[in-house]
């Protein structure tokens, strides 16, 4: 499918300067997407929890373009500072969307964005950032032209557009939990956009915490984009994709029946499998650090001693996500403070939990600077 529409152009003189604002969260993959093909399509299905606190707040200012141009006139400001590198990436992304939104070349655009979490904190800022921008774009379409058929169509289009900027961003437009990729028996599932599975969560998973231990905030040596590319020659790629699709199906069943033990087993195996794939790539690379392993070992000891269902996962980096239900919140927080903070850079960790999804925010209507 595609959303190409050459009719979406505006009469420039009729466009009044204004702005739109969305806050969109990051997400943590329970079953990992690692490897892609074609136009940002996943080699395997994945399922994620949507976070609450870790989010990007993005305001898109727009106005009529003063001079005719072929590309997109855009500037991106992060925390109030013009960022040339991010501006260049955003311009490339918006120009990629011109077949969908040809009116973008008729506007001057300024994007102001802010993350609620520190850079290199082990949270996917591309997921929150690109989903927030995609939501702004679909809102802009509705403002300049006509509303989409319904809210489901709105979020599906936002998910589709977000995917073109960052694969995992397509899952962030939905609250609680989402699946990206084709899953037999899951109505509407697709490689081109994510679908919500919030209504399939057992009550125990609706209270889940995700505390992120900042083992290192150093920028990782190998980007996720490069890591996905290396999967093309990885000798374990083919069986991995079969495994991940099977695990996505099983994880959905686990989330429905509230099996916290099997949830944790799958969660931790997925984390370690992801990093094993990195270490078996050619060339190989390692993103976990010694303190990552210290945290994992201490966590396993804590779980054995207490029986509390606290499990870990990792993204493509050294920082550790601890996932657990609200029922063991107090002892787990105490364990983190007393035993795990020494392994964290500057003794920092971020306390988060499963969230309700993106939110459109009010904005003062301003002109493009």
pLDDT at 341: 98
pLDDT at 367: 41
Answer yes or no: are the C-beta atoms of 312 and 340 closer than 8 Å.
no
pLDDT at 121: 56
Answer yes or no: are the C-beta atoms of 51 and 127 closer than 8 Å.
no
Report helix, strand or coil for 308: coil
What CATH number belongs to 12-200?
A: 3.30.230.10
Query: What residue spans in the chain does CATH classification 3.30.70.890 cover?
Result: 203-353
Query: What residue spans in the chain does CATH classification 3.30.230.10 cover?
Result: 12-200
> Distance (Å, rounded) from C-alpha 213 to C-alpha 209?
13
**Which residue, 122, 110, 2, is CA-closest to 65?**
110
Q: 293-323, pLDDT tens digit by residue?
A: 999 999 999 999 999 999 999 999 999 999 9
**Which residue, 212, 221, 55, is CA-closest to 121?**
212
Q: 150-173, pLDDT tens digit by residue?
A: 999 999 999 999 999 999 999 999
pLDDT at 124: 67
pLDDT at 369: 44
Tokens of 255: 């989330």
pLDDT at 67: 85
**Which residue, 196, 251, 270, 232, is CA-closest to 33?**
270
Query: At 138, phi and psi to the nearest 5?
Result: -70, -35
pLDDT at 257: 98
The whole-number mean pLDDT for each consecutive block of 10 residues of the chain, a chain of 369 residues, reads: 94 96 97 96 98 96 89 96 96 98 97 85 81 98 97 98 97 98 97 98 97 89 90 96 98 98 98 97 95 98 98 95 98 98 95 97 64
Compute CA distances 229 → 129, 222, 232, 273, 278, whole Å: 22, 11, 6, 17, 11
**Which residue, 116, 178, 176, 132, is CA-closest to 350?**
116
CATH class for the region spanning 203-353: alpha beta
């Amino acid at each position: 499918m595609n959303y190409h529409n050459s009719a979406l152009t505006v009469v420039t003189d009729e466009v009044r300067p204004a702005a739109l604002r969305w806050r969109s969260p990051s997400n943590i993959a329970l079953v990992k997407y690692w490897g892609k093909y074609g136009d940002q399509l996943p080699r395997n299905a994945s399922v994620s929890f949507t976070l609450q606190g870790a989010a990007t707040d993005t305001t898109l200012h727009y106005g009529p373009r003063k001079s005719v141009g072929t590309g997109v006139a855009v500037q991106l400001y992060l925390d109030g500072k013009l960022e040339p590198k991010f501006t260049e990436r955003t311009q490339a992304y918006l120009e990629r969307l011109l077949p969908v939104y040809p009116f973008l070349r008729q506007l001057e655009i300024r994007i102001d964005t802010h993350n609620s979490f520190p850079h290199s904190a082990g949270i996917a800022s591309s997921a929150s950032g690109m989903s927030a921008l995609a939501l702004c774009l679909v809102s802009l379409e509705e403002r300049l032209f006509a509303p989409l058929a319904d809210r489901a169509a709105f979020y599906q289009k936002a998910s589709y557009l977000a995917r073109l900027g960052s694969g995992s961003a397509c899952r962030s437009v939905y609250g609680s939990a989402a699946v990206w990729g084709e899953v037999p028996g899951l109505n509407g599932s697709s490689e081109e956009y994510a679908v919500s599975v919030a209504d399939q969560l057992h009550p125990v998973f609706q209270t889940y915490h995700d505390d992120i231990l900042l083992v290192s905030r150093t920028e990782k040596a190998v980007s996720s984009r490069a890591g996905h590319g290396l999967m093309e020659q990885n000798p374990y790629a083919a069986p991995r994709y079969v495994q991940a699709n099977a695990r996505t199906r099983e994880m959905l069943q686990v989330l429905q029946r509230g099996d916290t033990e099997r949830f944790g087993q799958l969660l931790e195996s997925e984390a370690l499998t992801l990093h094993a794939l990195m270490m078996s790539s050619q060339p190989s690379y390692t993103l976990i650090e010694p303190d990552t392993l210290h945290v994992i070992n201490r966590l396993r000891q804590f779980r054995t001693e207490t029986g509390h269902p606290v499990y870990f996962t990792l993204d493509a980096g050294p920082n550790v996500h601890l996932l657990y239900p609200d029922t063991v919140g107090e002892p787990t927080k105490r364990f983190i403070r007393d035993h795990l903070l020494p392994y964290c850079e500057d003794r920092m960790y971020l306390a988060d939990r499963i969230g309700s999804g993106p939110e459109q925010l009010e904005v003062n209507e301003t002109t493009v600077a």
